[in-house]
Amino acid sequence: MVTLIIAEKPNVARKIAYALAEGKPGRKTIGKVPYYEFTRDGKRIIVAPAVGHLFSLAPKTKIYGYPIFDIEWVPVYVAEKGKSYAKDYIKALATLAKRADEFVVACDYDTEGEVIGYTALKYACGVDPSKAKRMKFSALTKKDLLKAWYNLEPTINFGMADAGIARHVLDWYWGVNLSRALTSAIKRASGKWQVLSTGRVQGPTLKFLVDREKEIQNFKPTPYWVIKMLLEKNGGQYTAVYEKERILDENEAKRIVEEAKKGPAFVENVEVKQQNRHPPVPFDLGTLQREAYSAFGYSPKKTLELAQKLYERGLSSYPRTSSQKLPKNLNFRSILQNLAKLPEYKPFAHELLGKDKLKPVEGKKDDPAHPAIYPTGELPKPGELTKDEANLYDLIVRRFLALFMEPAVREIMKVVINSNSHRFILSGARTVKEGWLKVYGKYVKFDEVILPAFKENEPVKVIQIKREKKKTKPPARYSPAAVIKRMEDLGIGTKATRAQILETLYSRGYIEGKRKIKVTPLGMRVVEALEKNVPDIVSVELTKAFEEKMEEIMAGKAKKENVIEESKSQLIKILKVFKEREMDIGKMLMETTGTGATTSKTAARKAGAVKELSEEEEKAVKKAVDKGERRKEYLVLGKCPKCGGDLVVRYNRKTGKRFVGCSNWPKCNVTYPLLQRGEIIPTNKTCCGGAPVVKIREKGREYEICVDMNCRDWKKGKK
C-alpha cells in the first residue's frame, strides 16, 4: 500500500516528509523535481510537490474577439508564458501516481490550495478527486503535521474547491473579455495598438480610488480660525485651545480674542480620569498588512510574501486568514517557553509563564479554515532570517505576547480655563501603567503630555491669546494599507487576492505612488469611460454580490454551475452594451494623457496597462479589429521645409512617443518633437524656418504652438 501526499510547494513537501518520517526520509528526484519516500506505521508514503497552480484556464480555440466563454483547464505552461518549469512537476506527479494506491492532498487549506490539489489529482494524476483524503493544518510544525496525518479528513473540501473553481472561471470570463473589449475599443477608435485591462475586482477597486482622486481635485479649501491661549505655570509653558475648535468668521475670532484678553483667567474645572487600554486583538492578514505598513512601510504584497516565508519555515501560522481568534487547543505555555530562549523576549515570556492562567485577548472575526496568525514556538536559527523577515517575525511575536498581558492604564487630564466667560481647554495624557505596552510599545505610540497639578478657581498666568488662520484640507490619498482596508469594508476581493489586485493596478499604469496613491490620467480615463458607458464594470455592488455567492458555494448553499451561469449572463449583457458603444469608449480612452497607444506592440508593453498575449493571439487581435477597416492615414501637419514632402505624426517604435517626421524618410531626416499630451489639430500655419504650427486641445482648453521647440514665441496664441 503506497500513499502519495501532494504538497503545494517543494519546501513544504520537505517539511511534511521530515515531520512524518520515522527516520530520515529518502530524497529522490524525477528530472529536476524532488520527492520523498519513507515509512510510517508500516505504510509506504511518498510526498511530492506541486509548484503552486499546475493548471490554468485557457480558451479552447485561438479565435480572438469577445465574448468568449468556451474555456478548459490546461497545463499552466500552455496558458502562460514563462511557466515551462511546471512541465517537470506535472510529469513527476503523473509518474508517481502510477505507483500509488491512496492519495492525500496537503496543499494550503483554502480555496486556492483546494483548486491546486483538485486539478493536480484530476489532470496530472488522472485520479477522481473525490477518492483523495485531506490533511488539514495551519502550521508546519511536526506536532501540527502529525496531528493532521492521524486525523485525515475523508475527502477534500469540495465546498472550497467549487468556490475556488468558480472564482477562477469568473475572473477569467471578466478579465479576458473586458480586456479584449478595451483593446478593441482603442484599436477601433485610433488604429493604434494598446492592450488595456480590467477585471471583476480590479475595476471597482480602481473606481473608489478615482472617486477619491476627484474629491481631491474638486476640493476647495475653506478658511477658518483657531484661538489659542499660551499660559505659564511652575516655569513651564502650555497651550490651551478655545472650546469651539473652528471659528468660521474672522470677525467673530477677533472679538473672542479681544474679550478673552481682558481676563481675568482662572481654572474653572479640572477633570482627571483613568482609562484602560486593552491589548490589540490577534492578527488576521489584513491587520498584519496594515500594521507592517505602519511600522516598516511594507506594501501589502510584501507583507504577505514575508508572512508566507515565515509560515513555510514553520515559524508562524498560516497567514491567509480572516480570523482574530487563536486555536482553543493551542499550547500557550509551550510556545512561551520556547520564545523565552530568545533574549529579546525572555523577560516578557517569563512574566507570563508566572501566571496561573493564560487567557489571550481575542477579536470578533472568525475563519472556519484557519485561526489568527501566531508564532508556533519554533525558533529561527541565527542568521536564518533576512532583515525584513526578522522585522515581521518580531511584530508577530510581540503581538502574541501582548495578548496575555494586563491592560495599559492612561491618565487623561482636562483643565477648563475661563477668561472673561470664554473657555479654553488644556489637555494632558500620560501612561501610568505600561501593561502590554512593555512588549508592544515599539509599534504603538501614545502621546505623553504631562501637565502640572491644577486646582479649581486658581488664577492662571496668561502670556498670550491669539488667533491662527487655517484652511480645511482635502481628503487624504489612500495608502496601500488603506486600500486593503477599504476593499475589506466593501466586501470585494479576498484576503488572499487583495494585495495582488493593488499590484496589478500599479503594473497596468493606472496608479502610482508608494505611500500616497495617485490615480494616473490613464486610470482616470479608463474609469470615466467605463462609468459613463458601462457602469456595471466598475460596480462595487455587482462584485460584492458575486463574492457573497462564492461564500455560499463554500458553505454548500449554492452550486458553482448556477453562479457561473448567472455571472456569464450578466457579463453578456454588459458586453452587448460595450460593443454598441465601443467607438465612444475608444475615443474617450484616446483623450488620456500618456495612454501609450502605439502601432508598436513592444512599446505598448512598456507603456504600462499591458497584458501579454501569445503570438497567435496577437495576430488574431490585429485581424479581428482591422477587419472591415482601412488603415488609418497619417495625420498631415504641413509641408517639409527641406524636401517638400508631408510632415506627419509618427510614433517611435521603442518608446511609443509621438513626433513629427517627413513622409520621405529615410531619404529625408527632418523631425520635430511633439508634446505627448492632448489632441493635435493642423492649422496650415508655419513659423520658424517653415516649421508647422499646430493646435493642442486638452482638458477643455486649446492653444497653438510651433513644433520647433527652440522658437522664441513658442506658444502662438494660447486661448
Measured in degrees and rounded to the nearest 5, phi and psi for residue 460 equal -120, 130
Residue indicated by cell numbers 489532470: 123
Side chain identity at residue 188, one-letter code = R
User: Nearest to residue 460, comparing CAs of 472, 451, 468?
Assistant: 451
- List Cβ neighbours of 117 (8 Å cut-off, separation of 6 or more): 6, 8, 50, 105, 106, 107, 129, 132, 156, 161
Q: Are 38 and 45 in contact (CB under 8 A)?
A: yes
DSSP state string for 73-111? EEEHHHHSTT-TTHHHHHHHHHHHHTT-SEEEEES-SSH
CA dist., res. 119 & res. 98, Å (int):
17
Question: Is residue 116 packed enough to be buried (19+ CB in 10 Å), middle (13-18) or exposed (0-12)?
Answer: buried
| Cell matching residue 3 | 500513499
Rg, the chain, Cα only = 32
Active site residue 318: yes
| Cell matching residue 619 | 495576430
Tell me the pairing of strands 223-233 and 408-419: unpaired
Measured in degrees and rounded to the nearest 5, phi and psi for residue 591 equal -80, -10
**DSSP-based helix, strand, coil % in the chain, nearest 5:** 40, 25, 40
- Of the residues 36, 318, 443, 478, only one is catalytic, namely 318
DSSP-assigned letter for residue 129: G
Strand (E) positions, 506-557? 511-512, 518-519
313-323 as b/e: b if 16+ CB within 10 A: bbbbbbbbbbb
* DSSP 3-state of 28: strand
CA dist., res. 279 & res. 293, Å (int):
20
Distances in Å between the Cα of 437 and the Cα atoms of 278, 289, 381, 401, 410 are 10, 20, 27, 10, 11
- CA 556 to chain CA mean position, Å: 29
User: Nearest to residue 396, comparing CAs of 446, 447, 326, 488?
Assistant: 326
Tell me the pairing of strands 33-40 and 43-49: antiparallel
Q: Are 85 and 35 in contact (CB under 8 A)?
A: no
Cis peptide before 264 (omega within 30 of 0): yes
User: Nearest to residue 184, comparing CAs of 635, 654, 623?
Assistant: 623
CA dist., res. 364 & res. 360, Å (int):
13
Which is it for the CA torsion 436, 437, 438, 440, positive or negative? positive
| Cell matching residue 92 | 513527476
State the catalytic residues: 318
